[in-house]
């Protein structure tokens, strides 16, 4: 069994590496597909040819295309994106500054979504066909269909604009460094509440749907009847014997869920002015700072690849029975 | 995920010499009838279908239903200063003009925009859903039928790599570079949404390929193309419809999100651009008559597509272990 697992993981690692490579190449193509030169915004009409050539040399644009490509791929691999044409800072530094807030927001939101969705899905799947099941299923699908930013606006309107309980955006108030750590943490939690709440409201449906479907297969299994016959009460049978065996597809779904959430970060962070990578991407695009935009895009892609690989590893550890050799 | 279609559809006219069009399409007709029969058992699916029918009627008869043409403005094109101060105008009795849901900050009627906006939403949903099925279903069938060959392997690797790309950021970058047109937005959405189709259809074909009716067709010398077209396609179509509906819902939501970021064709009114406009004008918290209707319509339409998709899936996979 271990041999199959090892081969499977190696295969997944290879796919991850190829994905990152495709991502980097895509960036290069996009960068060169843009009309004009990336440094247009830095060039003024009064500059001499020599000055322009200097700037081109600084961004490596005087080299032949294939050398530019090789250099691009090698530097991108180590997250070296050169300098932002907007702020002239190294892009890497801007990315690192933005990575933490993204993780701080999405890690708890993801956990809440998934625990909530799995629990509700367990219950609905167990009581399939009941009135509660119908209501929960309908509600879940409807919440899933609400445009996220619109829901966020409504929550902000009620809790921030009308009631004034929570701040309306950003991660911490300005000049946080002058606070003591307790105030800083409380402020952070206050700022996080509405984003996490709206993410959870929209996102619980995904794991709920999967859990509900797999619970249906478990509900009539012999070992469930057997557990009942042994005299376990219904909640114990449902959780310990039913849900535990239905969890594996939910983990698979989590791979898609993570990617979906990172995708959505561009919307979530824009609507809440959350200083993460998604917002960096959107801002960079609208200020035509293409190196920064593509770097943010690349980072989001790498995050998805890394998390997918990580989930694959966890998945393999969770259930050694699963045979990956033949692509289930 | 969605298990079997029940009995596979068997082309009963197999082997008959005459091959009229009607006969050729027979397996599809049988499949469609059976799926319809299963589908109407689901209350939720029927509700979804009715809502979509209503919204379609709204889109088709927009000029009749809307109280004003799209260009209409409450105080004309050049309102006086005091008139402009009354905009956006909440729905109220005793107005000199008729605007049942109020107006936006330029005096356009919300109801009128809402009715015309259904056209964009339906078009994007159905176009993106259909296109991703047209790409995903054939690739899924081919990949599943030639499983474990280089064809399958290469399709699967492409799918694998594309799954790793950040979707919304990619669409944003692509749309930004190629220009913000409805066509580019649909293409950006389809570039990702065919993946699910291909994977699920492939899985279904893998399990169908082991059924006797496929073996029988192989034994009687049917060509690969014929097996895929006459025996496999009719049996995976219901599953294809599930994903078409889900892709349509997804596309409608993505279009709204792109509009929120400012990436939409603002020459055409859509529910997404209505929401973008309220944000630009800064009336999110103060003009609920303007904020709520477009969001509700987006959710209603997307939910209807999801209702159809998931209830089909539910009917086809009634649970209960074997």
Contact B102, B88 (CB under 8 A): yes
- Spatial distance between the Cα atoms of A69 and B214, rounded to a whole number of angstroms: 49
Contact B227, B214 (CB under 8 A): yes
All residues at 6 or more sequence positions from B314 whose CB lies less than 8 Å from its CB, including other chains: B42
Structure confidence at residue A205 (pLDDT): 86
Q: How far is A182 from chain B (nearest CA, A)?
A: 32
Residue A115 inside a domain? The answer is yes
Structure confidence at residue B301 (pLDDT): 92
Q: Do B261 and A267 touch (CB under 8 A)?
A: yes
**A226 CB near a chain B CB, below 8 Å?**
no
Residue B101 inside a domain? The answer is no
Return the H-helix or E-strand segment holding B34: helix B26-39
- Spatial distance between the Cα atoms of B9 and B239, rounded to a whole number of angstroms: 14
Q: Residue B10 above 80 pLDDT?
A: no
**B179 CB near a chain A CB, below 8 Å?**
no
Residue A213 inside a domain? The answer is yes
Using pLDDT thresholds of 50, 70 and 90, give the confidence band for residue B130: very high
**A209 CB near a chain B CB, below 8 Å?**
yes
Q: Is the peptide bond before B275 cis (omega within 30 degrees of 0)?
A: no
Q: Do A281 and B253 touch (CB under 8 A)?
A: no
Q: Give the Å distances, CA to CA, from A100 to A95, A105, A283, B25, B54.
A: 9, 9, 18, 57, 46
Residue A1 inside a domain? The answer is no
Residue B89 inside a domain? The answer is no
Crossing angle of helices B271-281/B233-260, nearest 10°? 20
Residue B243 inside a domain? The answer is yes
Contact A190, A172 (CB under 8 A): no
- Rounded average pLDDT over B105-124: 86
- Spatial distance between the Cα atoms of B59 and B16, rounded to a whole number of angstroms: 45
Angle in degrees, CA B296, B301, B306, rounded to 5: 120
Q: Residue B131 above 90 pLDDT?
A: yes
Q: Do B165 and A26 touch (CB under 8 A)?
A: yes
* A66-75, B54-63, B310-319: least confidently modelled range: B310-319
What the block records as the tokens of B291 is 């904020």
Q: Is the peptide bond before B133 cis (omega within 30 degrees of 0)?
A: no
Q: Residue B132 above 90 pLDDT?
A: yes
**A199 CB near a chain B CB, below 8 Å?**
no
Structure confidence at residue B129 (pLDDT): 92
A181-225 pLDDT, tens digit per residue, is 777 777 778 788 888 888 888 888 888 888 888 887 777 777 777
Reduced to 3 states (helix: H, G, I; strand: E, B; else coil), residue B109 is strand
CATH number of the domain residue A108 falls in: 1.10.3720.10
Structure confidence at residue A326 (pLDDT): 41
**A201 CB near a chain B CB, below 8 Å?**
no
Residue A328 inside a domain? The answer is no
Using pLDDT thresholds of 50, 70 and 90, give the confidence band for residue B134: very high
What the block records as the tokens of A188 is 């952070």
pLDDT in tens, chain A (328 residues): 444 567 777 877 888 888 888 888 888 887 777 666 666 666 777 777 787 777 777 766 777 778 878 877 887 777 777 777 667 777 788 888 888 888 888 888 888 988 888 888 888 888 877 888 888 888 888 888 999 889 888 888 888 887 878 777 777 666 666 677 777 777 778 788 888 888 888 888 888 888 888 887 777 777 777 787 887 887 877 877 777 777 777 777 777 777 778 878 888 888 888 888 888 888 888 887 777 888 888 888 888 888 878 777 776 666 555 444 444 3
**Which domain covers residue A180, as residue numbers?**
6-318
Q: How far is A95 from chain B (nearest CA, A)?
A: 15
| B window 212-271, beta carbon within 8 A of A | 249, 253, 256-257, 260-262
Residue B93 inside a domain? The answer is no
Q: How far is B78 from chain A (nearest CA, A)?
A: 31
Question: For chain B, what percent of residues have pLDDT higher than 70?
Answer: 90
| Chain A residues touching B193 at Cβ < 8 A | none
**B307 CB near a chain A CB, below 8 Å?**
yes
Query: Which ipTM value was assigned to this complex?
Result: 0.79
Residue B274 inside a domain? The answer is yes
Is A175 exposed, middle or buried (CB count within 10 Å of its CB: 0-12, 13-18, 19+)? exposed
- Spatial distance between the Cα atoms of A147 and B218, rounded to a whole number of angstroms: 48
Residue A325 inside a domain? The answer is no
Structure confidence at residue A44 (pLDDT): 72
Domain count, chain B: 1
Q: How far is A153 from chain B (nearest CA, A)?
A: 7
**B164 CB near a chain A CB, below 8 Å?**
yes
Residue B321 inside a domain? The answer is no
Which of A254, A304, A263 lies closest to B167, judged by CA? A263
Which of A145, A226, A242 best probes binding to B when mutated, by most B CB atoms within 10 angstroms? A145
CATH number of the domain residue B251 falls in: 1.10.3720.10
**A30 CB near a chain B CB, below 8 Å?**
yes
CA B243 to chain centre: 9
Q: Please provide residue A304's backbone torsions phi and psi, each rounded to the nearest 5 degrees.
A: -60, -45
- Spatial distance between the Cα atoms of A101 and B292, rounded to a whole number of angstroms: 30
Q: Do A305 and B303 touch (CB under 8 A)?
A: no
Residue of B nearest to A277 (CA): B169
Residue of B nearest to A135 (CA): B44
DSSP for residue A75? H
**Which domain covers residue B49, as residue numbers?**
30-73+113-316
Q: Residue B244 above 80 pLDDT?
A: yes
From the list A266, A296, A301, which residue is nearest B164 (CB)? Answer: A301
Residue A283 inside a domain? The answer is yes
Q: Do A305 and B164 touch (CB under 8 A)?
A: yes
What the block records as the tokens of B1 is 């995920």
All residues at 6 or more sequence positions from A10 whose CB lies less than 8 Å from its CB, including other chains: none
Contact B286, B260 (CB under 8 A): no
CB atoms within 10 A of CB B222: 17
Structure confidence at residue B13 (pLDDT): 44
Q: Do B321 and A137 touch (CB under 8 A)?
A: no
Which of B313, B292, B264, B280 lies closest to B121, judged by CA? B264
- Spatial distance between the Cα atoms of B57 and B140, rounded to a whole number of angstroms: 34
Domain count, chain A: 1
| Chain B residues touching A149 at Cβ < 8 A | 256-257, 260, 275
Q: How far is A149 from chain B (nearest CA, A)?
A: 7
Structure confidence at residue A327 (pLDDT): 41
């Amino acid at each position: 069994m271990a041999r199959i697992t090892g081969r499977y993981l190696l295969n997944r690692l290879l796919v991850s590496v190829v994905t990152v490579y495709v991502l980097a190449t895509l960036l290069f193509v996009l960068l060169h597909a843009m009309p004009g030169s990336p440094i247009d915004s830095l060039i003024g009409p009064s500059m001499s040819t020599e000055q322009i050539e200097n700037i081109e040399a600084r961004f490596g644009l005087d080299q032949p295309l294939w050398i530019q490509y090789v250099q691009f791929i090698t530097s991108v691999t180590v997250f070296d994106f050169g300098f932002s044409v907007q702020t002239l800072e190294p892009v890497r530094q801007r990315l690192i500054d933005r990575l933490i807030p993204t993780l701080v927001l999405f890690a708890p939101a993801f956990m809440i979504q998934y625990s909530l969705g799995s629990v509700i899905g367990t219950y609905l799947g167990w009581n399939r066909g009941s009135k509660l099941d119908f209501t929960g299923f309908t509600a879940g699908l409807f919440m899933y269909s609400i445009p996220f930013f619109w829901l966020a606006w409504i929550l902000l309107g009620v809790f921030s604009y009308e009631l004034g309980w929570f701040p309306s955006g950003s991660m911490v108030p300005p000049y946080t460094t002058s606070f003591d750590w307790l105030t800083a943490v409380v402020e952070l939690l206050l700022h996080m509440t509405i984003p996490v709440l709206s993410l959870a409201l929209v996102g619980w449906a995904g794991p709920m749907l999967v859990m509900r479907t797999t619970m249906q297969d478990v509900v009539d299994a012999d070992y469930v009847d057997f557990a009942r016959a042994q005299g376990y009460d219904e909640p114990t049978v449902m959780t310990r014997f039913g849900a535990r065996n239905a969890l594996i597809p939910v983990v698979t779904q989590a791979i898609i869920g993570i990617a979906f959430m990172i995708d959505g970060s561009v919307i979530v962070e824009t609507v809440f002015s959350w200083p993460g990578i998604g917002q960096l991407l959107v801002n960079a695009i609208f200020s035509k700072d293409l190196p920064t935009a593509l770097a943010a895009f690349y980072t989001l892609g790498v995050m998805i690849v890394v998390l997918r690989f990580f989930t694959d590893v966890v998945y393999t550890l969770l259930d050694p029975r699963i045979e990956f050799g033949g692509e289930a | 995920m969605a298990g079997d279609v029940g009995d596979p559809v068997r082309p009963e006219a197999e082997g008959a010499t005459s091959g009229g069009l009607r006969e050729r399409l027979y397996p599809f007709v049988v499949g469609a009838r059976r799926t319809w029969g299963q589908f109407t058992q689901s209350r939720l699916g029927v509700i979804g279908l009715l809502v979509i029918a209503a919204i379609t009627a709204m889109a088709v008869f927009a000029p009749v239903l809307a109280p004003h043409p799209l260009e209409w403005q409450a105080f004309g094109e050049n309102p006086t200063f005091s008139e402009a101060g009354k905009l956006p105008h909440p729905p109220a009795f005793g107005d000199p003009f008729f605007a049942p849901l109020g107006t936006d900050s330029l005096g356009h009627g919300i109801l009128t925009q809402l009715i015309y906006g259904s056209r964009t939403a339906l078009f994007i949903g159905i176009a993106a859903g259909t296109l991703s099925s047209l790409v995903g279903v054939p690739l899924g069938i081919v990949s599943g039928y030639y499983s474990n060959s280089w064809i399958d392997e290469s399709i699967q690797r492409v799918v694998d790599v594309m799954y790793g790309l950040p979707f919304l950021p990619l669409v944003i970058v692509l749309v930004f570079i190629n220009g913000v047109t409805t066509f580019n937005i649909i293409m950006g959405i389809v570039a990702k949404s065919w993946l699910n189709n291909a994977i699920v259809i492939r899985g279904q074909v893998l399990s169908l390929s082991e059924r006797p009716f496929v073996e029988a067709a192989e034994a009687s010398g049917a060509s690969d193309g014929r097996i895929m077209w006459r025996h496999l396609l009719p049996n995976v179509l219901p599953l294809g419809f599930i994903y078409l509906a889900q892709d349509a819902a997804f596309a409608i939501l993505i279009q709204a999100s792109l509009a929120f970021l400012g990436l939409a064709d603002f020459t055409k009114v859509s529910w997404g651009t209505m929401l973008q406009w309220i944000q630009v004008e800064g009336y999110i918290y103060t003009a609920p008559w303007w904020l709520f209707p477009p969001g509700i319509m987006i959710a209603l339409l997307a939910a209807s597509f999801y209702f159809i998709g998931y209830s089909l899936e539910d009917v086809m996979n009634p649970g209960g272990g074997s």
